[in-house]
Amino acid sequence: MSINLEQARYNMVEQQVRTWDVLDPAVLDALREVPREDFVPGRYRRLAFSDLRIPLPQGQVMMKPIEEGRMLQSLQVVPGNRVLEIGTGSGFIAACLAYLGAEVTSVEIHSELADRARNQLERLGIDRVEVICADALDDYVPEGTFDVLVMTSSAARIPERFLQWVGTGGRLFAVRGHSPAMEAVCLTRLAEGHWHTESLFETDLPRLVGAEDSPQFEF
């Protein structure tokens, strides 16, 4: 089984992620070394390295490996970066960010997901991640700003409060727009009120809790 698992991991990196123009050696190493299968719900373990979005509890999903790779590459994380993740989910992205050397604060509104991710990270000895169970759109207020902000669910528009949490020169990954053709973007904060936007790929992710569309805007 372990041989098959390692072959599937190799295929994921070389035949999926790399062919999607993810060439950053540090990102490819993270995807090789962080055991994705340990973050996937047990019944989907055999699909851990497939080109699929994997269901999580509470209606959430893990992004496809190719999407995770493009996202991580766009953020240009370097050791010592302060990173805020909105939506811990499985904990896999937080683990990859920690592998890249970041100090990660990950906020998850669902206690079930927060507890599971925290346990997995502790079991694997990943200690540069703090998982906080809170609502990032309501009661959570961070101390200071961050070098990188990662939003793992979608919103029609990026919430203004998240933009304020990114320091000058920092980067923000988000998925915005409407199903079924949402846009994944990486924003770089150039100065107060000035951002450079890079469009990365089309995707379709569940809404961030609290950022659901109002009925009058649904179509």
Contacts of the segment 123-127: beta carbons below 8 A, 24+ positions apart: 123/38, 124/35, 124/38, 124/95, 126/94, 126/95, 126/98, 126/99, 127/98
pLDDT score, position 97: 98
Per-residue pLDDT reduced to its tens digit, 83-104:
999 999 999 999 999 999 999 9
Task: Spell out the domains of the chain, with CATH numbers in brackets.
Answer: 2-217 (3.40.50.150)
Contact status, residue 65 vs residue 49, Cβ threshold 8 Å: yes
Per-residue pLDDT reduced to its tens digit, 110-162:
999 999 999 999 999 999 999 999 999 999 999 999 999 999 999 999 999 99
Token code pair at residue 159: 């919430």
pLDDT score, position 212: 85
Query: Which of 94, 51, 56, 60 lies closest to 75, judged by CA?
Result: 94
pLDDT of 214 > 70? The answer is no
Read off the pTM.
Answer: 0.94
